[in-house]
Structure 1
Amino acid sequence: MRVFEFEGADGTTLTAWSNEAEGPPVLLCNGLAAPASAWPGFLSPDCGFHVVSWNQRGFLGSQRPDDVTTVEIPAQAHDALALMEHMQWEDALVVGWSFGVNMAVEFTMRNPQRTTALLAIAGLPGGTFKGLLGNSNLPVGMRQALGKRGSARGAKRGPLINRAVESLPSPATLVDTMRTVGALGRRADPVQAEEMVGDYLTHDFGWFFQVASVVGAHETLDPSTISCPVTVLTGREDLITDYRQVIAWGDEVPDAQVRVLKATHFIPLERPDVVLASLQDLLIRSGQDISSGPDTTESDWLP
C-alpha cells in the first residue's frame, strides 16, 4: 500500500492511500474515520481493482480544519473529486461504507459522468442518525435524537473519552468482546480485526464526535435520480445501521440490486469476497468486464 498526500478542494492537506493494484479504478468513500485496515480485500495486490481512498479531515494524518463545518458531506464529496483529479482518473467505480455512503451518493449525484457504478455498503444516503442502533425497533425520531445527543456529548467530553480509551484492554480483547455481543461476525479474520480496532483507537474522540455531529445532520438525499448501476449490501446482523432502512432506500433506485448478507456492520472485514464479487458484477452491468475475479454462490445471500 502506498500512502501519499494531496490537496483537498479548499487546499487542506489530506493523506490518501492506494493499493497499487492493477485493474479498474475504484474510489472508496470510507466510513467515518475508518482506516485502510478495514478493507483486507482491497489491500491484496491481486484483488483486481486499483483502489484509492483518503483519510478524512483531522484523522490518520490528514490536516484538521479550524472550522468543523468544512467536514460537511458536500465538502467531503469535493475532497473525493479532488482525489480523482489527483489520480488523473476520468471516472471510477465508487464505493461507500457506513457514513461513507453519504459521501458516495452525494458524489455520484454531483458527478454522474465520473461515476461508472456505485457500491453502497451498510449505510444510508443521508439521515444517518435515523437508522442508528440497527434493528432495535426504536422509533426513527428516538434514534435521531440519541444520535444527535450522543455525538454532542461526546464532542464536549473528548478529553475524558481519550483518557478512557487509553485504559482499554488490548485490541485482541476488544475484538473478542465485539464478537461476544454480536457487533462483529465470526467470519472476520481476528488478526485483521485487531489491526482495524487498533487503528480506530488512535483517534482524538473529541474531534471524532464533532465530525459525527456535523455529518450526521446531512439530510436524506433522493437516490431515485441515480442513473448508474447500483448495488446495495447490508447485513441482517448489523447493530449500528438498520438494515431494513438500507433495503428501503436501495429499492428506490431504478437500477439497483439489494443484497442482504449474513453479516454485521463490518461487511468489508467479514465478507471481502462478496465486496469484490459485487464490484465485478457492477463492471459487467456498466458495460465493462474483467477476465477473472472472485466468484460467489447464491448461498452467500439471504432471501
Structure 2
Amino acid sequence: MTTAHRVRFRDVRSADGTRLRAWTNDADGPAVLLSNGLGTNPQSWPSLTSPDCGVNVTSWNHRGVGGSDRPADGRVDLDAFVEDAVAVMDDAGLESAVVASWSAGVTIAFELAYRFPERVDGILAVAGVPGNTFSTMLAPWRVPPFVAKPFMVSLARATTVVGHLEAPVTRRIPWTHTTTRLLQATGAIGRGADTAEVQAMVAEFFSTHPAWYARLALGVSEHERVSLSGISVPTTFIAGRRDLLTGSAAMRTAAERVAGSRFLQLDASHFIPLEQPQTVLDELLALIDRC
C-alpha cells in the first residue's frame, strides 16, 4: 500500500542568493535534516514523508531541481551544497540535527559535519560514501576504482553536452504503472519497492534536465575525499549489495574509519529508501536513540 505523503514547501535563500525549494513533513518528533540524493525529491523517502513517521524532517531540493533556482553564476560545487544545507537549517531554526543522507547527499552530510561539527548530532549514510563517489561506481561488476572513476566522470561530462538531445525524450517518458514495472524488472530499482512510490519518484526525477543533473554530479565528484578523522558523532552506514552506484565495500571501509559506527548491508540496489523504507526508518530511529 502506498504511504500517505504530507510535505509542505517553502522558499529559502542560500548564502549566494540562490532560491532553494525547501520542504518539511510537518510531523512530530526529533529534528532530522535530510541531505537527499542529487536530482531526487521527497518521493524518494516514503517512510519519512508519512505523518506518523515519528521524526520532523527538513530538507531541500538541490539547485536547479524541483523548483529550486539554478544559481546565476552556475555554481554547483560542494561548498555551495554545504552552504545550502546551512541556510535550510537556519531558516528552520535548527541549531543542530541528526542528518539522514542518501547517495551524493552522503558527501554533503559528512562535509557539513566536518566543517560545522556543532550542527550535526549524528549521520545516517544510505547508499553513499563521503567523497570520491565516482570511484565506487560499478563495484558489483568488479570494475576497479581507477577504471570506474574516469569512465563515470567522462560519461557525466558527455551528458552535459548530449543531455540537450536526451531531454526531449527523457522528459516525455510516460511513467505509468506498466513502464515503472518494466524499470523495476531491469533491477535498477528492486521489485520489492512499491510501484506507485517508484512511479512518483521517477516521474519527478526525469523532469530534471539530464545535462543539469550531470553538472550537479560533477560538482560533487570534484571533491576527492571528505575527512573522517574529525567525525565523532554516532553514525550508521546502510549499503546495498546490488548497488551499481555506490560499492558496499567502500561503504564498509568508510564505516571502519569512523569510531563506533554501525554498518548494515541489505539485499538492495541503490534505491534503498524506496526498497526497504521501514528498515531505513528503524535505523534512523535507533541512531537518534544513540545520539
TM range (shorter): over 0.9
Partner residue, 2:51: 45
Which residue of 89, 96, 99 corresponds with 1:91?
Answer: 96
Tell me, what secondary structure is at the counterpart of 2:222?
Answer: coil
Supply the AA of the counterpart residue of 1:243: S
Q: Which runs of 5+ in 1 are unaligned?
A: 287-303
What is the aligned partner in structure 2 of residue 163 from structure 1? 168
Aligned residue for 2:239, secondary structure, equals strand
| Residue in structure 2 matching 1:27, options 24, 30, 33 | 33
Q: Percent identity?
A: 37
- Report the Cα offset of residue 35 of structure 1: 0.9
Q: Secondary structure of 1:21's partner? A: coil
Aligned to 1:204: 209
Task: Give the secondary structure class of the aligned counterpart of 2:236.
Answer: strand
Displacement of 1:141 in angstroms is 1.2
Give the whole-Å Cα distance in 2 for the aligned partners of 1:167 and 1:29.
28
CA contact (8 A) 2:27 2:52 kept: yes
124, 128, 140: which is aligned to 2:129? 124
Hey, what does 2:155 align to over in structure 1? 150
Other-structure match for 2:110: 105
- 1:301 maps to which residue? none
Name the structure 2 match of 1:263: 268
Change in CA separation of 1:173 and 1:239 when aligned onto 2, cut-off 3 Å: farther
Structure 1 residues 156 and 259: alpha-carbon distance in aligned structure 2, compared to 1, 3 A threshold: same
Q: 1:261 to 1:230 in 2, by over 3 A?
A: same
Letter in 2 for 1:51: V
Secondary structure in 1 aligned to 2:47? helix
Question: In structure 1, what is the Cα distance between the partners aligned to 2:232 and 2:54?
Answer: 25
* More deviation, 59-68/123-132: 59-68
Query: Do the aligned partners of residues 284 and 167 (structure 1) sit closer, same or farther apart at CA in structure 2, a change above 3 Å counting?
Result: closer
Within-5 A mapping of 1:223-302 = 223-286=228-291
Q: Deviations over 1:73-103 (max 9, x none)?
A: 1221111011111011111010110010010
Counterpart CA distance in 2 for 1:177 and 1:252 is 39
Matched letter for residue 226 of structure 2: L
Using the TM superposition, give the Cα deviation of residue 279 of structure 1 relative to its aligned residue in structure 2, in angstroms.
1.5
The 3-state SS of whatever aligns with 1:231 is: strand
- With normalisation by structure 2, the TM-score equals 0.94
Distance 1:15 1:167, change over 3 A: closer
**What is the distance in 1 between the residues matched to 2:172 and 2:281?**
37
Whole-angstrom distance in 2 between the partners of 1:79 and 1:168: 31
Residue in 1 that maps onto 2:62: 56
CA distance in 2, matches of 1:41, 1:127: 28
1:262 & 1:168 partners in 2: Cα distance? 29
Given that 1:184 and 1:265 are in contact with CA atoms closer than 8 Å, whether structure 2 keeps it comes out as: yes
Does structure 2 conserve the Cα–Cα contact (< 8 Å) formed by 1:135 and 1:241? no
1:250 match: secondary structure: helix
TM-aligned CA deviation for residue 224 of structure 1? 3.2
Please tell me whether the aligned partners of residues 171 and 198 of structure 1 are also in contact (alpha carbons under 8 angstroms).
no
Counterpart position of 2:193: 188
Q: Following the alignment from structure 1 to structure 2, what is the Cα–Cα distance between the partners of residues 233 and 216? A: 21
Q: Deviations over 1:235-290 (max 9, x none)?
A: 1111221111111111110021000012111111111111111121112211xxxx
Describe the SS at the equivalent of 2:229. helix
Alignment pair present for 1:12 and 2:31: no
**Structure 2: segments with no counterpart, 5+ residues:** 1-6
Q: Is the 8 A contact 1:26 1:93 kept in 2?
A: yes
State the AA in 1 paired with 2:63.
Answer: R
